Amino acid sequence: MAEDAVPTGDGPRGPLHGLLVADFSRILAGPYATMLLADMGAEVVKVESPQGDDTRTWLPPVRGDVSTYYLAINRNKRSLALDLKNETDAALGRELAARADIVIENFKPGGLTRFGLDYGSVSAANPGVVYASISGFGSGAGAALPGYDLMVQAISGLMSLTGDPDGPPYRAGISVFDVMSGLHATIGILAALHHRQATGAGQHLEVNLLSTALSGLVNHSSAYVAGGTVPFRMGNAHPSLFPYEPMPVADGELIIIAGNDGQFANLCKVLGVPELPDDPRFTRNQDRTANREALRPLLVERLAMRSKKELFHELLDAGVPCAPINTIDEGVAFAAELGLDPVVTVGEGEHAVPSVRHPISFSTTPARYELPPPQIDEHGEQLRAWLAAPAR
């Protein structure tokens, strides 16, 4: 295990303490997955080319001269720079994989075979390894396609759902399928570790962005697969609920949600139109959805008399979900007001980096925030010495 040569610190031991992750991934999906594993206590060795992870150069914005994109997904890792085209370095990569509990990579399918780092080669030396591969379109007919999130947003149909009905399709504001694929990879790794604990056997798991996308489109992909309906762009509207969108108020817009008949009745009481639910056009959710164009102006007329702040508190008190449309800084500030402590400091002293808190709270084995995102090959000397020594 890596802890023979890589100190784990004096802090609480996370639920994955003692597991070694050989991380041959780069950019987003893989590094996000390995950061989650590292936060939960696994020791992650980030293997980079001598030029470093691509996201190191994705700037602005920056903190100092370091890309904040890179900083977002690489804490709690140790960096080892290897040129896999160099046999000496490739041998170190194979040794790391042979000692690892988990290997994760997002090369094009088959791209690691020539270095002896494919699943077949690694598992021959390390039968218990959990080996996770992330690609854009799988290892079959789509193996040669580059795996960029924007491509998948387009190909999957997500962009056809995003934007105004009479406007162009839009991408989501984040690389949503990269992040979701990282989460799916993490779930798969934890499931495979459970299987290994029961049987002693490792396995190869594959995650691809397109399958992630079709799963993540949930009700929209189901509308076609189960119902034969092809969804279309509706702006901020919901195909099955109304209201469930931004609504104009006196000083801007407020997200207002009536997810059931009771919430709609409460909304109408707050707005001073308690009779609306008795109108057969608006009594049930399916009625309101079918007659949204008749209902909308009746609500807008009343909403225009009230401010965002006033309505936000009054609607929430009445049990009606609603929300202001915040900027990122306002979102972070709101989470802080709720006591969620969204910002943590990773590392100490001049190298400390503010970071977004791990999303899971553990009552006994909390996430750790020990190592700031590493510089290229920051831990190379230490790790090379450990890999050159006989494994224990």
Tens digit of each residue's pLDDT (9 = 90 or more) over 104-155 = 999 999 999 999 999 999 999 999 999 999 999 999 999 999 999 999 999 9
In a domain, 235, yes or no: no
Residues 169 and 37 in one domain: yes
Residues 93 and 128 in one domain: yes
Q: Which of 326, 358, 375 is the last residue of a domain?
A: 326
Residues 378 and 351 in one domain: yes
* Digit-coded pLDDT (tens) for 220-270: 999 999 999 999 999 999 999 999 999 999 999 999 999 999 999 999 999
Give me the active site residues, please: 178
Residues 250 and 125 in one domain: no
Residues 297 and 375 in one domain: no
In a domain, 200, yes or no: yes
CATH at residue 316:
3.30.1540.10
Which residues form the domain of 104? 2-217+342-388
Residues 312 and 346 in one domain: no
In a domain, 231, yes or no: no
In a domain, 236, yes or no: no
pLDDT value at residue 224: 97
Residues 164 and 28 in one domain: yes
pLDDT value at residue 19: 98
Q: Give the number of domains in the chain.
A: 2
pLDDT value at residue 9: 54
* Digit-coded pLDDT (tens) for 171-180: 999 999 999 9
Residues 313 and 346 in one domain: no
Q: From 286, 155, 159, 163, select the one nearest 211 (Cα to Cα).
A: 155
CATH at residue 154:
3.40.50.10540
Residues 53 and 168 in one domain: yes
Residues 348 and 200 in one domain: yes
- Tell me how far apart the alpha carbons of residues 208 and 28 are, in angstroms, rounded to a whole number: 13
In a domain, 127, yes or no: yes
Residues 96 and 19 in one domain: yes
Residues 185 and 322 in one domain: no
